[in-house]
């Protein structure tokens, strides 16, 4: 058992079992989240015998095995889990704040054709403690969390939700500073509205029609028809009033035509939304090419001319094995 496998409540019970005072729980949580210290031996205001007991009872936990720094100063972390699997998270500096992008699964079952993470399929879900660990290992401490790394968070709902609630309670992070990204799993966007209404929603859309979605993300398109997805997003907006972000990766000659921009305008009609165009990072396993920047600019202008709020995402992480899942895949090749 590692130290983050115990929630605040679990830690309290554990200390109670040792006959320790209740304030020890807050003391440990402060060490972890205010001082970024996870090693009990370095928690210097604890009695020496307690540090020794903790050292004997808690394993080392996940650790950062490798970091890769990009030209834009984003940092990709390869985190080795206790069972030997590896996951990745990315630290980015945006608008004066640090944002961390965390993974929620080892691998991904959805196998979108442009994404390296899905190429190896799903290994397993991450535990809530493993999701939280990615944040605890980050330096400096992030203000924002995006659940957009490897995996589909809505297929690991229980652990995703627990990680949100624990990060709020133990790390003092606001749900307003958290964003979850999903391809759309029936019923789960409504569940987000009911159970975590302050967490922001991003949709990995990437294609504006069912036919094109079936081509580039066939499993996701089969799990939920685009018409149903849009209906559920509208329901979500009615329940929460939250603006929704649509993620749209720009693939040369595939989804970057002006007819695609018009279709995207149509399906987002009547919604408070931001369309985020993402320049594609080529991966080893996909045959797509990135759209030409001029084409992206035309696409963007077309959306804006039709009243859509749209932007082009700065390609954070380019140049450091940056496509989603690539660092993990590269490391596995090395082994
Ligand atoms: S794009 Fe997202 S949902 Fe699709 S395979 Fe990659 S991680 Fe999974």
141/129 Cα distance (integer angstroms)? 17
pLDDT value at position 285? 61
Query: Residue 152 corresponds to which tokens in the numbers above?
Result: 């589909």
Ligand 1 pocket residue status of 152, Cβ below 6 Å = yes
Helical ranges in the chain per DSSP H: 8-17, 23-33, 48-57, 128-136, 157-171, 188-195, 210-216, 218-223, 226-240, 258-267, 293-305, 326-334
Query: What is the pairing mode between strands 144-147 and 273-279?
Result: unpaired
Cα 287 → chain centroid = 25
Ligand 1 pocket residue status of 122, Cβ below 6 Å = no
pLDDT value at position 71? 74
What is the assigned CATH class of domain 3-57? mainly alpha
Query: Quick check: is 130 catalytic?
Result: no
Ligand 1 pocket residue status of 115, Cβ below 6 Å = yes
Q: 100, 102, 63, 61: which is closest to 79 by C-alpha?
A: 63
Ligand 1 pocket residue status of 242, Cβ below 6 Å = no
Ligand 1 pocket residue status of 173, Cβ below 6 Å = no
Q: What is the mean pLDDT of each run of 10 residues along the chain (335 residues)?
A: 96 96 96 95 95 96 93 88 95 88 94 84 97 96 94 97 98 97 97 98 97 97 98 98 96 97 98 94 78 97 98 60 44 40
- The residue whose CA has the least distance to atom 4 of ligand 1 is 112
Ligand 1 pocket residue status of 118, Cβ below 6 Å = yes
188/149 Cα distance (integer angstroms)? 18
Query: What is the pairing mode between strands 86-94 and 97-101?
Result: antiparallel
Domain borders along the chain are 3-57, 63-334
88, 127, 152, 232: the catalytic one is: 88
From 105, 116, 119, 152, mutation site for ligand 1 pocket: most ligand atoms within 8 A of C-beta? 152
Query: Quick check: is 88 catalytic?
Result: yes
pLDDT value at position 284? 58
pLDDT value at position 222? 98
Say if residues 3 and 28 touch (Cβ distance below 8 Å). Answer: yes
From 119, 121, 125, 151, mutation site for ligand 1 pocket: most ligand atoms within 8 A of C-beta? 151
Q: How far, in Å, is the centroid of ligand 1 from the Cα of 328?
A: 14
Say if residues 317 and 311 touch (Cβ distance below 8 Å). Answer: no
If one counts every other C-beta atom within 10 angstroms of the C-beta of residue 229, the result is: 24
Ligand 1 pocket residue status of 247, Cβ below 6 Å = no
63-334 adopts what CATH topology?
A: TIM Barrel (3.20.20)
101, 108, 112, 324: the catalytic one is: 324
Ligand 1 pocket residue status of 150, Cβ below 6 Å = yes
From 112, 123, 224, mutation site for ligand 1 pocket: most ligand atoms within 8 A of C-beta? 112
Q: Which atom of ligand 1 is nearest to the CA of 119?
A: 5
Longest dimension (CA), the chain: 69
201: helix, strand or coil: strand
The yes-or-no answer to whether 3-57 and 63-334 have a common fold is no
Say if residues 244 and 285 touch (Cβ distance below 8 Å). Answer: no
Query: Residue 285 corresponds to which tokens in the numbers above?
Result: 């396993």
Structure ipTM: 0.99
């Amino acid at each position: 058992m590692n130290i983050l496998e115990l929630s605040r409540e679990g830690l309290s019970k554990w200390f109670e079992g040792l006959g320790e005072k209740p304030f020890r729980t807050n003391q440990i949580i402060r060490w972890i989240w205010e001082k970024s210290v996870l090693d009990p031996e370095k928690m210097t205001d604890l009695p020496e015998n307690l540090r020794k007991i903790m050292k004997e009872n808690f394993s080392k936990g996940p650790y950062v095995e490798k970091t890769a720094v990009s030209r834009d100063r984003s940092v990709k972390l390869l985190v080795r889990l206790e069972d030997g699997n590896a996951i990745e998270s990315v630290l980015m500096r945006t608008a004066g704040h640090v944002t961390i992008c965390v993974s929620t699964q080892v691998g991904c079952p959805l196998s979108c054709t442009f994404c390296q993470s899905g190429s190896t399929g799903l290994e397993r879900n991450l535990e809530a403690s493993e999701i939280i660990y990615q944040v605890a290992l980050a330096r400096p401490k992030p203000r924002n969390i995006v659940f957009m790394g490897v995996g589909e968070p809505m297929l690991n709902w229980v652990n995703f939700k627990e990680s949100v609630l624990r990060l709020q309670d133990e790390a003092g992070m606001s749900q307003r500073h958290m964003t979850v990204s999903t391809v759309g799993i029936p019923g789960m966007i409504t569940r987000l509205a009911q159970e975590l209404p302050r967490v922001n929603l991003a949709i990995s859309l990437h294609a504006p029609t069912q036919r094109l979605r079936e081509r580039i993300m066939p499993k996701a398109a089969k799990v939920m028809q685009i018409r149903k997805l849009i209906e559920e997003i509208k329901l979500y907006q009615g329940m929460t009033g939250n603006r929704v972000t649509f993620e749209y990766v720009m693939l040369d000659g595939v989804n970057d035509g002006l007819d695609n921009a018009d279709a995207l305008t149509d399906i987002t009609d009547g919604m408070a939304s931001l369309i985020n165009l993402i320049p594609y990072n080529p991966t080893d396993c996909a045959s797509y090419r990135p759209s030409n920047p001029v084409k992206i600019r035309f696409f963007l202008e077309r959306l804006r001319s039709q009243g859509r709020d749209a932007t082009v995402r700065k390609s954070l992480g380019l140049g450091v094995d940056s496509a989603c899942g690539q660092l993990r895949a590269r490391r596995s090749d090395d082994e």
